[in-house]
Structure 1
Amino acid sequence: MTWTTRPRSDHASLSAITAGQGATVVFIHGVGLRAEAWEAQLDALSPHYRVVAVDMPGHGESALPSGDLDLADYTDAIAAGIDGPVMLIGHSMGAMIALDMGIRHPEKVCGVAALNAIYRRRPDASEAVQARAASLDGTSMADPSGTLERWFGADASPERDACHAWLTDVNPAAYKSAYTIFAHQDGPDADDLTNLACPALFMTGANEPNSTPAMSQAMAALTPQGRAYIVEGAAHMMPMTHAADVNTALLDLAKELWP
């Protein structure tokens, strides 16, 4: 599969890819990526639903606001473009945002899918991700080889090439802002998960070393309508590398929300 740049429309202060008609499904990508990371999911869901894939602040064609930002700022920028209850799908940091929106803006979310979400990192994992955040200078992008190695291993692929292009093109200040927030978050509070009222899917890859299966299972166990789905053979970039499995699970959740 190839990932090509798609036209944008406005989503409040952000830009977004929009397609299809009907009930709305909103997608939120991870740090350093852009809305096109959801290309396989947009193609699968747009024949049935209205799909909106946002560019996070400072990513893709969305501007980076001035000043210091926190997770709530990213969530609220996306929530500003949502009028009624939507199915919200996030990957990695996007999953953090999706869960935060479901917790703080429940009137805007009728279901949430958190893909490759972190929850209570091990101390060594927290130290490693925070060290990577501290190494960013916000003016130049570091070599993405280490990130790509964590995501894809050593094998070449179109997915790896697409992510390499996005990671080398992203605004370094925006990357530092988002990655610093991602590094210092440890997932939603347990009490907030127990109060998350909508259906919630926690999905990750069986081979994911950072957003581990145990994390998704722990969050699902705390959430009243939570369920975990572990994709065999997948790691961090499963929306791209294991699109068929991901699309099936997302379509199943959508059919549950809108029979």
Structure 2
Amino acid sequence: MDELVDVNGTEIWVESRGEGPTVLLIAGLGDPAEAWQAQMDGLSGRYRLIAYDNRGTGRTPLRDEQLSLAVMADDAMGILKALDVENVHVASFSGGSMVAQELALRHPEFVRSLVLVSTWAREDAYLASVIRFWRWLATEAPDAQAMLEAFLLWIYTPRAHNDGTVERIIHEMLQSPHPQSPEDFQRQLEAFTGNDTLERLSRIAAPTLVLAGDLDIVTPPRFGRVVAEEIPGAAFEVLKGEAHRPFQESPEAFNARVDAFWQAVDGY
């Protein structure tokens, strides 16, 4: 089911597939719901999966309102209420993992478990420099293709660049009928910037799995390790040979891992 859901006056594009325990998928910077296509395809036989376009991405507009993690977390909550969902497993990625942290802190009664992929809690000077470069890149790249070629160098493994995967992804993004504007990219990036959840993570009670790629140069495993150390009982795993987007580059292994985690949480 694909539909526009009204959340606090903004129509948010939502896609839902499958039946079973509900999983909310929260995407990262610039990603529409389709970023989770391999999960929607691979896990919908066991779960009801809900993915959506964050404000400023895909089919969801970003108006003049101030965008923040709190707003984005309340958007996620609004989607769940609109769809009459009482509680969910949450899987999230990069900037979306910051939204997921905020969702679990602001609305803990709705979060059955958390999967945080390529996550962090507090920026250091390195990550702040990466973000400043991306902000510059969005407006100074000569065209959309050059911007994507530079940006995705940070995101995927060398194998994905060498085997043509990144070239295919760039082509698909350039052909999208709903491209993200440089302005919306920057505003969304700003919402993910400067946040600090470190001192509050101990309040998260939901079972949590933190995953990090050992080749991730944006959020190296040290970021995820800190998050897992602060969330009571959280598990932390480093995925060998993976970079910032393991759920896209190695979807079968990723899907199997999160499926096992959710089954353990649900007591299967």
TM-score interval w.r.t. the shorter chain?
Answer: 0.7 to 0.9
Corresponding position of 2:147: 143
SS at match of 1:111: strand
1:195 maps to a residue whose letter is R
Query: For residues 160 and 67 of structure 1, what CA distance do their matches in structure 2 show?
Result: 35
What one-letter code is carried by the residue in structure 2 that aligns with 1:118? W
Write out aligned runs for 1:196-211 (5 A).
Answer: 196-211=204-219
Matched residue, 1:63: 61
Structure 1 residue 8: deviation in Å?
A: 2.2
Is the contact made by 2:26 and 2:51 (CA closer than 8 Å) also made in structure 1?
A: yes
User: 1:215 is matched with which residue?
Assistant: 223
Deviation at 1:183, TM superposition (A): 3.2
Match of 1:28 among 11, 26, 29: 26
Instruction: Indicate yes or no: 2:3 matched with 1:9.
Output: yes
Establish whether residue 188 from structure 1 lines up as the match of residue 219 from structure 2.
no
Instruction: Determine the C-alpha separation between the residues in 1 that align with 2:254 and 2:238.
Output: 10
Gap change, CA 1:163 and 1:30, over 3 Å in 2: farther
What do residues 16-46 of structure 1 show as CA deviations (whole Å, max 9, x unaligned)? 2211112210101111121111111112221
CA 1:211–1:31 in 2, change beyond 3 Å: closer, same or farther?
A: same
Is the Cα–Cα contact under 8 Å of residues 28 and 54 in structure 1 kept in the other structure?
A: yes
Give the 3 Å change call, closer, same or farther, for CA 135–207 of structure 1 in structure 2: closer
Aligned to 1:174: 184
Q: What displacement does 1:247 show?
A: 0.7
Q: Structure 2: which 5+ runs fail to align?
A: none
Q: CA deviation at 1:104?
A: 0.9
Counterparts of 1:230-241 in structure 2 under 5 Å?
230-241=238-249
* TM-score after normalising by structure 1: 0.88
Runs of 5+ in structure 1 lacking a partner? 1-6
Given the alignment of the two structures, is residue 165 of structure 1 paired with residue 169 of structure 2, yes or no? no
Structure 1 residues 163, 117: CA separation in 2 closer, same or farther (over 3 Å shift)?
A: farther
Report whether the alignment pairs 1:254 with 2:252. Answer: no
SS of residue matched to 1:118: coil
Give 2:123's match in structure 1, choosing from 108, 121, 126.
Answer: 121
Name the % identity. 22
Equivalent pairs counted in the alignment come to 250
Deviation at 1:226, TM superposition (A): 0.5
3-state DSSP of counterpart to 1:80: helix
Question: Are the structure 2 counterparts of residues 88 and 163 from structure 1 closer, same or farther at C-alpha, using a change threshold of 3 Å?
Answer: farther
Assess if the C-alpha contact under 8 Å between 1:32 and 1:170 holds in 2.
yes
Any runs of at least 4 consecutive aligned residues in structure 1 with deviations exceeding 6 A, and if so which? none
